[in-house]
Structure 1
Amino acid sequence: MQQKNIVRLIYNLGILLAHFILKCTAPFNSKIKLGVIGRKKTFKTLKHNISKTDRTLWFHCASLGEYEQGLPVFKALRNKYKNHKIVLSFFSPSGYEIRKNTEIADVVVYLPLDTKKNANQFLNLIKPELTVFVKYDIWPNILNELKLRGYRAILISAAFRKNQSFFKFYGSELRAALFSFEHIFTQNENSKNLLESINYKHVTVTGDTRFDRVFSQLEQDNTLDFIQEFKQDNICIVAGSTWPEGEALFVNYINTQASKNTKYIIAPHNIKHTQIQQLKNSLEVKTVLFSEKDTANIKNAKVFIIDTIGLLTKIYNYADLAYVGGALGNTGLHNTLEPAVFGVPIIIGNNYNKFPEAIDLIKNGGMFSISNQKEFNLILNEMIENKTRRESTGIKNLEFIKKSKGAVIQIINYLRI
């Protein structure tokens, strides 16, 4: 008991220290500044939008990726409980700033820092009948207060690894927070086994809700006339969420080996003007930016650089082959399921071990991992030259998505409010 109290004290002091550091660094970092300013408005926003008689649901996501992951569950609950107000919280500015006007929620706020005082004030205002956390972002004070009040809470699309703090001798505070969830829905059996190793029994393996999310994309209108105008009848290679190390491979390939019947779309993760111009200037073929498309002749361009956000999912619909960035460096692999659902082969870097969907897609034969220019060129040339191989490889990705979806139905069937 004394050890638990010491761990709890260390955790609470750490939160206070983090708050101090964030305030001090905010003037020098625009992203941190957005979070600091946004958190100051959280309680005021809730007081203005939530009344004492409102019935509420609370969805929490660390960032944009977790929001997209949880979205099919959010939509199902929104449709099922039309008379409830929905509060959506984010920890990261990259989630809040992009989805602060989402129709899925009535109120969107930053999650306050996890102090006991903030936990009490936050829950006093929203009193959620159901709380849904997505994947991770476990905050002990808030979750323990949920449990003390008898509020229902679930964790969906959870993915655990043995080296995480939950399963270490010093992770008692985080382990206790996990027991605040009445049920945890995991992505895989390994995560279930890890939970059972700490005596958490209320767990179901449902898979990743992202499979449901991306499969629903096929039901939408994915037409982009300007992409069709650019592509015409050529083979189209789409490089999504790229970082400099991946862009360097494409620049070298396009400048030295690109054939006449191929076109390239590059959608960088970083769309700052300086970096976009550097990328454009490094290419020795006709290149057009999205921001120039209304005045440029995109039909004659070889490369189309997307210097905006929000279009990539639909652009993958036009891909014959896709590259997804993040795994050549240490930034983390971006969403590979978005191109996979359109039935195209995918190339990624070699740092993908923390991404189970990438491991599975590679095992299934629809994705290739490369670590250098030579490997990149070999795969790209083979996929471009061999249409039968390209199409059969891509179909493996679509079939994998179809086989893996279904988590949302299991979660909704479990829930009863």
Structure 2
Amino acid sequence: MLLLYTIGIKLYNLIIWIFAFFNQKAAQFILGRKQIFSQIAEKVSPNNQNIWFHFASLGEFEQGRPVLEKIKSLHPQKKIIVTFFSPSGYEIRKNYALADGIFYLPLDSSKNAKRFIEIVNPEMAIFTKYEFWYYYFKALHKNKIPLYLISGIFRKEQIFFKGYGGFYRDILKCVTHFFVQNEESDLLLKSIGLSNTTISGDTRFDRVFENAVAPKQLPEIAAFCAGAPVLVCGSTWPEDEKLLTSLAAKYLDWKLIIAPHEIDDGHIQSIQALFPQAIKFSDLKSQTPGTESQILIINNIGMLSSLYQYGKVAYIGGGFGVGIHNTLEAAAFGLPVIFGPKYSKFQEAKDLIAIDAAKSISSNEELIAAFEHFNRNDESSIAAKKYVNSKQGATEIILSSINL
């Protein structure tokens, strides 16, 4: 199985290398890892008190951020080393001020893991939610470096819990302690003999609460909204955007802010084709007074978490693809949320539906019905905000157990 795993990593790298010729993200994935060890060695000293945080992408970074920032606040002498697997995280957070070094994670191999651990020499490693790299986990274990998984979540369908999943269960044995989101994850780990667990909850609640308390103010957005009710559409994909045309046409007194998941020129142009009267954020300042548009397209990255403060209802994209994106950022501001049918892997989505603070839709008719329900039901807004507030505290539970 280890041979197949190693071949799989090499094959993945080859596929990404081929895609790099015509795909920007794939190109960033390859170019960002060129001479990566020289980059790391230039910025990181193995003699420092280094704490290594690894994140798959941007969502996991925001999830683990409360723990990172609390550690840096309590122990400013410690150096925070951050790695990302995906360009989506690295390219947006490569200048994050509280990290002492931010890098792409070299691909998982025996040689790379050994060299990375030698250069960084972390006193501990903290992984958020998932990503289980065999060689890195083994190298940490061999060097007796504590490895913590925070905001972990497991499902019975995962390979760890199958009869043929022994190789992957072996990877989990390298984790010093699991801080998991729910009881189901705790019981699943115990079912395969891993009792080094704590049900801490999800650190995302701490992060979105902090953001809602002191959001970044966006004067251009406030001016665009001009007191009108606003539907904020976050992380949308083409399937979502096609549905949203029906709302824009039916509710002309509402403003729509569309923040797509991908902002390449082709996608932005496809949104403009659906909404010919829309204006891009980059053109907002040049808009002629008296010609204000109903629809704003956000053609940059990094604003979404602050956009929700201007909304009354949120639509969250991804539910017609691999799964919905972050619903909690909107709920923290008291916005009830609407999303597509692919939400079964997200406990918070199920919870929000149960308290009438969210609805899943599959058609134009269902979208309009959900929108009208939330438009006239203020209790849903109260429930959304109360739910987020009640789930805080994971960061403190984790830090009280980690030996710093």
2:291 maps to 1:277: no
**1:415 alignment counterpart:** 402
Q: Secondary structure at the match of 2:150?
A: strand
2:29 maps to 1:35: yes
| Rounded Cα–Cα distance in structure 1 between residues aligned with 2:185 and 2:211 | 28
What does residue range 57-206 of structure 1 map to in structure 2 within 5 Å? Answer: 57-206=51-200
How far did 1:298 drift? 6.7
Q: Secondary structure at the match of 2:163?
A: coil
Q: Secondary structure at the match of 2:286?
A: coil
> Any idea what the Cα deviations from partners look like across 1:100-126, whole Å, max 9, x if unmatched?
111121111111111111111110111
**2:353 alignment counterpart:** 362
| Rounded Cα–Cα distance in structure 2 between residues aligned with 1:215 and 1:83 | 27
Alignment RMSD: 1.6
- Partner amino acid, structure 2, of 1:258: Y
Q: Secondary structure at the match of 1:238?
A: strand
Contact 2:56 2:84 in 1 (8 A): yes
* Of 29-38 and 391-400, the range deviating more from structure 2: 29-38
Q: Which residue of the other structure, out of 347, 362, 368, is the alignment partner of 1:371? A: 362
Contact 2:215 2:309 in 1 (8 A): no
**2:334 alignment counterpart:** 343
What does residue range 291-330 of structure 1 map to in structure 2 within 5 Å? Answer: 291-297=282-288, 300-327=292-319, 329-330=320-321
TM-score (normalised: structure 2): 0.95
How far did 1:45 drift? 1.2
| Rounded Cα–Cα distance in structure 1 between residues aligned with 2:23 and 2:241 | 26
User: Size of the alignment, in residue pairs?
Assistant: 403
Contact 2:46 2:122 in 1 (8 A): no
> Any idea what the Cα deviations from partners look like across 1:183-232, whole Å, max 9, x if unmatched?
10001111111100110000011111000000001232432222221222
**2:207 alignment counterpart:** 213
Q: Unmatched 5+ residue regions in structure 1?
A: 1-6
| Rounded Cα–Cα distance in structure 2 between residues aligned with 1:138 and 1:225 | 42
How far did 1:351 drift? 1.0
Kindly report structure 1 stretches of 4+ aligned residues shifted beyond 6 Å: none
2:220 maps to 1:233: no
Q: Secondary structure at the match of 2:67?
A: helix
| Rounded Cα–Cα distance in structure 2 between residues aligned with 1:196 and 1:298 | 63
Contact 2:9 2:107 in 1 (8 A): yes
In structure 2, the CA distance between the partners of 1:221 and 1:339, relative to structure 1 (3 Å rule), is: closer
Contact 1:288 1:298 in 2 (8 A): no
> Any idea what the Cα deviations from partners look like across 1:138-158, whole Å, max 9, x if unmatched?
001110111111111100000
Contact 1:324 1:335 in 2 (8 A): yes
| Rounded Cα–Cα distance in structure 2 between residues aligned with 1:79 and 1:215 | 18
- Partner amino acid, structure 1, of 2:48: D
| Rounded Cα–Cα distance in structure 2 between residues aligned with 1:29 and 1:275 | 14
| Rounded Cα–Cα distance in structure 2 between residues aligned with 1:283 and 1:125 | 51
**1:48 alignment counterpart:** 42
Identity %: 39
2:238 maps to 1:244: yes
> Any idea what the Cα deviations from partners look like across 1:306-349, whole Å, max 9, x if unmatched?
1222111111001011111110x113211100110001111111
- Partner amino acid, structure 1, of 2:387: F
Q: Which residue of the other structure, out of 251, 255, 258, is the alignment partner of 1:258? A: 251
Q: Secondary structure at the match of 1:79?
A: helix
* Of 7-16 and 37-46, the range deviating more from structure 2: 7-16
In structure 2, the CA distance between the partners of 1:373 and 1:221, relative to structure 1 (3 Å rule), is: closer
* Of 308-317 and 227-236, the range deviating more from structure 2: 227-236
2:378 maps to 1:397: no
Q: Unmatched 5+ residue regions in structure 2?
A: none
In structure 2, the CA distance between the partners of 1:124 and 1:410, relative to structure 1 (3 Å rule), is: same
How far did 1:51 drift? 2.4
How far did 1:383 drift? 2.9
> Any idea what the Cα deviations from partners look like across 1:62-92, whole Å, max 9, x if unmatched?
1111111100001011112211222101111
